[in-house]
């Protein structure tokens, strides 16, 4: 970073600690724990784009390209007064950033302002959500021209893109958690995978787990009691623990699964309204659901998520499992919640101090730093109020979903 001019030696009165965080691709992310600085930082309320509008523009296009700006924040210079506040401590001394570091409270708003200025006047065929730039056109000739203009703007601004994360000249692309192009907009399959892959219950406890999820939304399911009757009968005291699965049970199981994947239960996201994320973890895995209030003022699911634990993950403590459920959920739900204030619910009381994790547990500290870019408040709820995420975390799905 010194050789690249990203940082310089510092004599600042400010100082934040450093943590190295492993990335999914095997690389190491250099993170600075800016939680103390963020707590006294005045928020920048620059508006984030309306995701619905971006998707609608792309959805109508016949040709689409997406560009990912490499280490986007590092392409934004800091003014002198801000540099001293970015100072961090290492075993080699004190340094400060010359460019915008990751983890600062106002980094998303600052970067969105940059890309909006970069694409000013090109709104008819180019949009951006933070570092994800999309170019869309109705004809191939137009698309080549539009792509060239955007790339020229990027070059003139001295910015760079990460080639391996770009999608060039496609009919349909993945953008902000959706598949878009050629007149269609569809959610990624992860939205319903956790329900589609729910295995046939083999024990009374597994039946109860599924009914816990379906029952939470019973007010949206006409004749719920009659449909679920063959399954609820399996949970009676006189029934054996190993359930006798019949054709009626399978029919009820299929119908309830189909209902959970359709309106009015599953709703399209409204990016003008706040989201609620609930998470849970168990010995079987982690589960999460993104929810939002509908016109009926009831919470409806937008995305279901679940994941089986690895052998290493299954040996973690309860607190580590619950914390990981939050990290996993927010990374998967990034297109929905990044850059927006949202609510996070967990039934693990200890995680109310998630924003103040100390260095006694390195794993929890790394995870806490990974969540610095998200803006949320934490609410503790009882297990009984967290039936959806709880049910998703307690089933052994055929493979990791979401």
Tokens of 315: 């040996």
CA nearest neighbour of 53 among 157, 141, 134: 134
**C-alpha dist (Å) from residue 74 to 159, 160, 161, 288:** 10, 11, 12, 32
pLDDT digits (tens, 9 = 90+) for 94-110: 999 999 998 888 888 88
Per-residue pLDDT tens digits for 228-277: 899 999 998 888 889 999 999 999 999 888 887 775 566 767 777 889 99
Instruction: Give the residue with greater pLDDT, 116 vs 185.
Output: 116
Question: pTM of whole model > 0.85?
Answer: no
Is the Cα dihedral 92, 97, 101, 105 positive or negative? Answer: positive
Residues 78, 99 contacting (CB under 8 angstroms): yes
Task: Give buried/exposed letters for 168-194 (b at 16+ CB in 10 A, else e).
Answer: eeeebbebbbbebbeeebeebebbbbb
DSSP letter for each residue of 56-76: HHHHT-SEEEEEEBTTGGGGS
Q: What is the pLDDT of residues 195-239, one digit of tens each?
A: 778 889 999 988 988 888 787 777 667 678 888 899 999 998 888
Backbone angles phi, psi at 60, to 5 degrees: -85, -15
Six token digits for residue 147: 């792509």
């Amino acid at each position: 970073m010194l050789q690249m001019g990203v940082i310089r030696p510092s004599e600042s009165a400010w100082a934040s600690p450093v943590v190295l965080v492993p990335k999914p691709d095997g690389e190491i992310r250099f993170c600075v724990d800016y939680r103390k600085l963020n707590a006294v930082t005045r928020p920048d309320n620059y508006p984030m784009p309306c995701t619905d509008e971006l998707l609608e523009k792309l959805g109508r296009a016949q040709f689409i390209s997406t560009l990912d700006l490499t280490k986007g924040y590092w392409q934004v210079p800091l003014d002198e007064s801000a540099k001293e506040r970015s100072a961090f401590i290492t075993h080699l001394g004190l340094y400060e950033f010359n460019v915008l570091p990751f983890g600062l409270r106002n980094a998303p708003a600052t970067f969105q302002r940059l890309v909006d200025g970069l694409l000013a006047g090109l709104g008819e065929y180019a949009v951006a959500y933070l570092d994800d730039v999309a170019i869309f056109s109705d004809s191939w000739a137009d698309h080549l021209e539009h792509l060239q203009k955007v790339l020229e703007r990027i070059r003139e601004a001295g910015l760079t893109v990460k080639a391996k994360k770009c999608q060039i000249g496609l009919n349909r692309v993945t953008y902000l958690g959706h598949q878009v192009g050629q007149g269609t907009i569809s959610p990624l399959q992860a939205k319903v995978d956790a329900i589609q892959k729910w295995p046939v219950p083999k024990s009374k406890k597994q039946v109860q787990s599924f009914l816990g999820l379906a029952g939470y939304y019973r007010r949206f399911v006409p004749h719920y009691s009659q449909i679920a009757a063959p399954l609820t009968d399996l949970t009676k005291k006189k029934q054996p623990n190993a359930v006798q699965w019949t054709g009626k049970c399978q029919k009820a199981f299929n119908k309830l699964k189909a209902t959970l994947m359709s309106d009015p239960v599953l709703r399209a996201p409204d990016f003008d309204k706040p989201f609620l994320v609930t998470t849970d973890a168990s010995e079987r895995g982690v589960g999460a659901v993104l929810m939002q209030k509908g016109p009926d003022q009831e919470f409806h699911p937008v995305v279901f998520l679940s994941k089986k634990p690895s052998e290493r993950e299954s040996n973690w403590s309860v607190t580590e499992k619950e914390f990981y459920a939050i990290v996993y959920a927010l990374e998967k739900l990034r297109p929905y919640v990044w850059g927006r204030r949202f609510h996070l619910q967990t039934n693990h009381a200890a995680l109310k101090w998630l924003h103040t994790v100390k260095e006694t547990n390195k794993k929890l500290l790394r995870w806490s730093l990974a969540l610095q870019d998200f803006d949320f408040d934490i609410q503790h709820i009882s297990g009984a109020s967290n039936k959806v995420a709880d049910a998703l975390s307690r089933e052994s799905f055929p493979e990791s979903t979401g």
